[in-house]
């Protein structure tokens, strides 16, 4: 499997260039570095939650970065695999509080948006994606599992490309995250990241890991705690740096996973190099 491109939006701004050298220092005493919801036009987006709009914005950022038209991903040949640890928290909380009478106007139209799968659903509707479709819940390890599943789908020719999308929002549930300081590090940085994966060698290997590899440490240092978005930020960093990418690693609730994906020993390539595919719109 090859990495086509990565679209990165974080509380620090768009793209890797917006990331500070030291997220902890840059955050100061802010527990959450918020990512503003993009202004999207249309009746559907009037109802869509912030996390849904962030998902759409991440795919738009990816397409711009890859130089792809929207039609290039439309149809059954594009799969979407979505990972999040808690981006459903805001919509769930809003619905619960509306039921308790402490908020207004959350009813029939809002309920479908409480499902975690509302995010990839909105993306699928917006971009016309009708291929394989899975939502995994968890932090970085869920995203590594999504990348593993992407490779399976591509190897089985279930589709020709896969969008691996992760979104994390924290602001609406900040005090709940404060209760769980043992679970997440600081600063919590909201993010929406999407990677375009294409078929190609070499295959992935997923295995348990005992420690964070360099890319995980770098992503955490520069972006902060982004939970499910972290592995995709690692990929973007490796691609930008043009450096050998050792294993992608991630941890969630005491389980650490490594994904060895980007090794290709061939002419002009070093073992461990990130394989960056040329991306071209598909004629369909």
Partner 1 sequence: MSLTGGRQRPDPIVVVSAGVVTPVGSDLDAFWSGLVTGSDGISMIERFPVADLRVGRGGEIKKLPLPGGGAEAGCRASLLLEAAAGDLLAHVTLLAAPERTAVVLGTALGGVDELDRALADDPSLRRAANGFYDSPAQALARRLGARGPLLTVSTACASGATALGLAADLLRDGRADLVVAGGYDVLCRFVMRGFDALRSLTRERVRPFDRRRSGLLLGEAAALVLLAREADAPAPRLGRLLGHASTSDGAHIAAPDPGGRGLEAAIRGAMAQAGVSADEIDFVSAHGTGTTLNDPIETAVLKRVLGRRARAIPVNSIKGGLGHTMGAAATLEAIMCLLASRHGVLPPTLGLEEPDPECDLDYVPRQARPARPRVSLSTSAGFGGCNAALVLEGVTS
Residue 133 engages partner 1 in binding (rule: CB under 8 A): yes
Helix (H) or strand (E) holding 259: strand 255-260
For the bound state, the minimum distance from the C-beta of residue 253 to partner 1, rounded and expressed in Å, comes to: 6
- Which of these, 199, 201, 202, 203, lies nearest to 282 by C-alpha position? 199
- Stretch of 4-12, 13-21, 136-144, 269-277 lying at the interface with partner 1 (CB under 8 A): 136-144
- Contact region for partner 1 (CB under 8 A) — 3-11, 150-158, 235-243, 264-272? 150-158
How far separated are the first and last CA of the chain, in Å rounded?
22
Beta carbon nearer to partner 1, 4 or 120: 120
Q: Which stretch binds partner 1 (CB under 8 A): 3-11, 174-182, 240-248, 265-273?
A: 174-182
Cis peptide bond prior to 187, omega within 30° of 0: yes
105 binds partner 1 (CB under 8 A): no
Q: Which of 220, 243, 226 is nearest to 22 (CA)?
A: 220
- In sequence order, the β-bridge partners of residue 255 are 252
The residue behind tokens 């849904």 is 52
The smaller minimum CB distance to partner 1, of residues 99 and 265, is found at 99
- CA 31, CA 58: separation in Å to the nearest integer? 23
Q: Which of 103, 211, 255, 284 binds partner 1 (CB under 8 A)?
A: 255
198-217 CB burial, b ≥16 within 10 A, e <16:
bbeebebebeebeebbbbbe
The reply on whether position 183 binds partner 1 by CB under 8 A is: yes
Applying CB under 8 A, which residues contact partner 1? 44, 47-48, 76, 80, 85-86, 88-89, 92-93, 95-97, 99-100, 107-108, 111-118, 120-122, 124-125, 127-138, 141-142, 145, 148-149, 152, 156-158, 176, 179-180, 182-183, 206, 208, 253, 255, 257
């Amino acid at each position: 499997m090859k990495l086509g491109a990565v679209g990165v939006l974080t509380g620090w701004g768009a793209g890797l260039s917006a990331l500070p050298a030291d997220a902890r220092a840059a955050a100061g005493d802010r527990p959450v570095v918020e990512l503003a919801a993009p202004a999207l036009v249309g009746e559907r987006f009037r109802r869509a939650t912030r996390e849904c709009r962030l998902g759409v914005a991440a795919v738009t950022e990816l397409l711009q970065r890859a130089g792809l038209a929207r039609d290039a991903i439309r149809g059954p040949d594009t799969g979407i695999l979505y990972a999040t640890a808690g981006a459903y928290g805001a919509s769930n909380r809003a619905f619960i509080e509306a039921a308790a009478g402490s908020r207004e106007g959350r009813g029939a139209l809002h309920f479908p948006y409480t499902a975690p799968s509302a995010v990839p659903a909105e993306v699928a509707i917006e971009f016309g994606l009708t291929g394989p479709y899975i939502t995994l819940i968890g932090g970085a390890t869920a995203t590594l599992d999504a990348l593993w599943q992407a490779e399976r789908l591509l190897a089985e020719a279930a589709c020709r490309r896969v969008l691996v999308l992760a979104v994390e929002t924290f602001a609406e549930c900040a005090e709940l995250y404060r209760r769980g300081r043992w679970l997440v590090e600081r600063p919590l940085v909201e993010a929406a990241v999407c990677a375009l994966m294409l078929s190609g060698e070499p295959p992935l290997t997923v295995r348990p890991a005992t420690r964070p590899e360099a890319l995980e440490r770098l992503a955490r240092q520069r972006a902060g705690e982004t939970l499910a978005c972290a592995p995709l930020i690692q990929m973007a960093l490796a691609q930008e740096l043009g450096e050998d990418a050792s294993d992608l690693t991630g941890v969630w609730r005491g389980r650490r996973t490594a994904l060895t994906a980007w090794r290709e020993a061939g002419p002009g390539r070093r073992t461990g190099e990130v394989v960056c595919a040329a991306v071209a719109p598909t004629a369909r």
